[in-house]
A and B are shown apart, each in its own frame.
Chain A
Amino acid sequence: MTAAQSYLEQSSPPGRTGWKAWLLTHDHKRLGLMYLWAILFWFVLAVILGLLMRTELMGMGRTIMGPEAYNSMFTLHGVIMIFLFGIPAIPSIFGNFFLPIQLGADDVFFPRLNLLSWYLFMFGGGFAVFSLFSGDGFPDTGWTFYVPFSISSAGNVSLTVTAAFILGMSSMLTGLNFVTTFHRMRDKAMGPMQIPLFTWSLYATAWVQILATPVIAITFVLVVLERFLSIGLFEPDKGGDPLLYQHLFWMYSHPAVYIIILPAMGVISEIIPAFSRKSIFGYKAIVYSSLAIAIAGSLVWAHHMYSSGMSDVSVFVFSLLTFLVAVPSAVKVFSWVSTMYKGSIAMSPPFFLSLCFIYLFTVGGLTGLVLGAAGTDIHVHDTHFVVAHFHFVMLGGTGFAFFAALHYWWPKMFGVMYRNRPAYVGAVAAAVGFVFHFVPMLILGMQGMPRRYYDYLPQYETGNFLAGFGAYLLVFGLLLMLLNLVFSLRNPRTAPANPWGGTTLEWSIPSPPPVENFTDSPNIKDFPYDFSEIVSNSNK
């Protein structure tokens, strides 16, 4: 494979050179890379902000910052992690790169719309940065922007929610692209039950992106209108209802966390079979559970509002529905574990990270049950228990799956192999640091330490101090993995087409892939996880 022929050298549309070849590209693979660099920037930034917050919490009283700064920190950390990392990370990077390839297509259905999505992403991010530097500084409302405080707060609320609006547009267009590509650009030989599970999870995610994102977009528009025109929609003084805002906000933001986790689960569904040398257990169950999570996850938003003052009927109904959502997720965990059973396990960094995912996500899901049950939620609402729960599922879940995807697909995307040892060391450090950081938070939360406070009562000091050490270890591990990957780009491009023995279509093309993806027509198997060939080849 000569270097001149891969997508890294050849532009689409053809003939462009220099920066135009990237900034005006139609190639979904190049767009995936462009998203990658931007998203890694946002991730590192938000991680450092988190570290600053954790450092502040390590000591009682004012350690390095006061309450105003702390409030802005957690708002910024939340906004970046949710809107600029969590939601776009796996779909926009790996989805853009691999969804068309896994379907046997040469690009997405709307390549130029894809480019627009990227520009909207950068534009929205720019807005967010601008709101950090201009006027009264970044808002201190929390990423949830609850009214009435967000209506009257002096910080740049309007700018920040506009940034979120623009990022939402990017998300919607990506979702639209994926749904259309899924339906219209599949290779003719590939029926629905032959589509890889990563693509299925992206399909379910794309639906949620399309349907739910407009809700938050309009909600933020209403907040801006309320701020400037005092229309009285949310302000009680003017006859409005602050709970209306909460309903509207969570109507998107709960499905948003499923946007965050579903592609991650799809990644795990790819990695586990590949390194167990065994077909995935329960392919159909995983497909239906992905769709079920997307649907059921859109029904349960008010479980964030149990103590907000809404009606008891609501509390009961939403608590009941929340229990339903746990079921499809559990189905997936059972399927992954069953896949590994009696498989031929080959350890590798992506597989190790996937194992971490399974454990951490399960713990996160179980703590979610405590929060989903209205009775127990009353005790731990707005404590660090909640913070620990969502970090377990979003960092322990999607975060680790993101790193697993990075390690799994890095050779394919760049044609280089990274060194395994730093990857393992980083992964272990991250996992151990994660546990030492967030398990104390679960305990502190149950003991009553409120969240979003820069200071606390003396009895919480020990837990916070210890948790701080875990935080530093976690960040060390994450950065080590990232640096290892980035430095591997200096290696020669010697990665084989199929370094891991995967069976989906991206492993049948060279690393890195050519511009048109498939030089010969793709060889669609009857079942996407048929390892018989791989196994027989390795037996020779």
Chain B
Amino acid sequence: MESIEEHRHIMGYGQLAVILALLLALTGVTVAVSYIHLGFFNVPLALTIASLKAALVLLFFMHLRFEGPVIRYSFITTVLFLAIMIGFTFWDVAFR
């Protein structure tokens, strides 16, 4: 089995703490920005920050940064699938 010889990367507590701090900071940013009225752009902005945080969690806490291509592509496939499911439904909802 090839999997046993795969390079395992253990993240130290320090590195994990840095990511946690970043996430908390971004949470603060989200809250702060919500008090600024940007009209329509509040939503995309909030979503962008949320996506950034999700990416940090995925890459570091969930180890995707250190996995091989198979797992990365599998994950991207899943995201694409979700995007299609939600996106295609909008062909119905948006044009009724």
For A215, the chain B residues whose CB sits under 8 A away are: 85
For A451, the chain B residues whose CB sits under 8 A away are: none
For B96, the chain A residues whose CB sits under 8 A away are: 310-311
For B3, the chain A residues whose CB sits under 8 A away are: 184
B40 contacts chain A at the CB level, 8 A cutoff: no
Q: When A184-B3, A211-B78, A310-B96 are in contact, do A251 and B91 touch as well, CB less than 8 Å?
A: no
Q: When the two chains form their complex, are residues A302 and B85 in contact, meaning their CB atoms are under 8 A apart?
A: no
A312 contacts chain B at the CB level, 8 A cutoff: yes
How far is A247 from B84 in the complex, measured between Cα atoms in Å? 12
- Contact code string B1-40 (vs A, CB < 8 Å = 1, else 0): 1110000000000000000000000000000000000000
How far is A184 from B71 in the complex, measured between Cα atoms in Å? 12
Q: When the two chains form their complex, are residues B88 and A299 in contact, meaning their CB atoms are under 8 A apart?
A: yes
B95 contacts chain A at the CB level, 8 A cutoff: yes
Would you list which residues of chain B between 52 and 92 have a CB under 8 Å from chain A? 70, 74, 77-78, 81, 84-85, 88-89, 91-92
Q: When the two chains form their complex, are residues A183 and B95 in contact, meaning their CB atoms are under 8 A apart?
A: no
| Max chain A C-beta neighbours (<10 A), residue from B3, B74, B78, B89 | B89
Q: When the two chains form their complex, are residues A314 and B85 in contact, meaning their CB atoms are under 8 A apart?
A: no
How far is A311 from B93 in the complex, measured between Cα atoms in Å? 7
Q: When the two chains form their complex, are residues B81 and A313 in contact, meaning their CB atoms are under 8 A apart?
A: no
Q: When the two chains form their complex, are residues B85 and A312 in contact, meaning their CB atoms are under 8 A apart?
A: no
For B78, the chain A residues whose CB sits under 8 A away are: 211
- Contact code string A459-478 (vs B, CB < 8 Å = 1, else 0): 00000000000000000000
For B88, the chain A residues whose CB sits under 8 A away are: 299, 301-302, 317-318
Q: When the two chains form their complex, are residues A183 and B70 in contact, meaning their CB atoms are under 8 A apart?
A: yes
For A298, the chain B residues whose CB sits under 8 A away are: 81, 84
**Min CB distance, A181 to chain B, in Å?**
11
B residues near A, CB below 8 A?
Answer: 1-3, 70, 74, 77-78, 81, 84-85, 88-89, 91-96
Can you list 10 residue pairs at the A/B interface with Cβ under 8 Å? Answer: A188-B2, A247-B92, A298-B81, A311-B91, A311-B92, A311-B96, A313-B92, A313-B95, A314-B95, A318-B91
A residues near B, CB below 8 A?
Answer: 179, 183-185, 188, 207, 211, 215, 243, 247, 251, 298-299, 301-302, 310-314, 317-318
Closest 5 CB pairs of A and B: A311-B95, A313-B95, A314-B92, A310-B92, A314-B91
Q: Give me 10 other A-B pairs in contact (C-beta within 8 A), A311-B91, A313-B91 excluded.
A: A215-B85, A298-B81, A298-B84, A302-B91, A302-B92, A310-B96, A311-B94, A313-B95, A314-B92, A317-B88
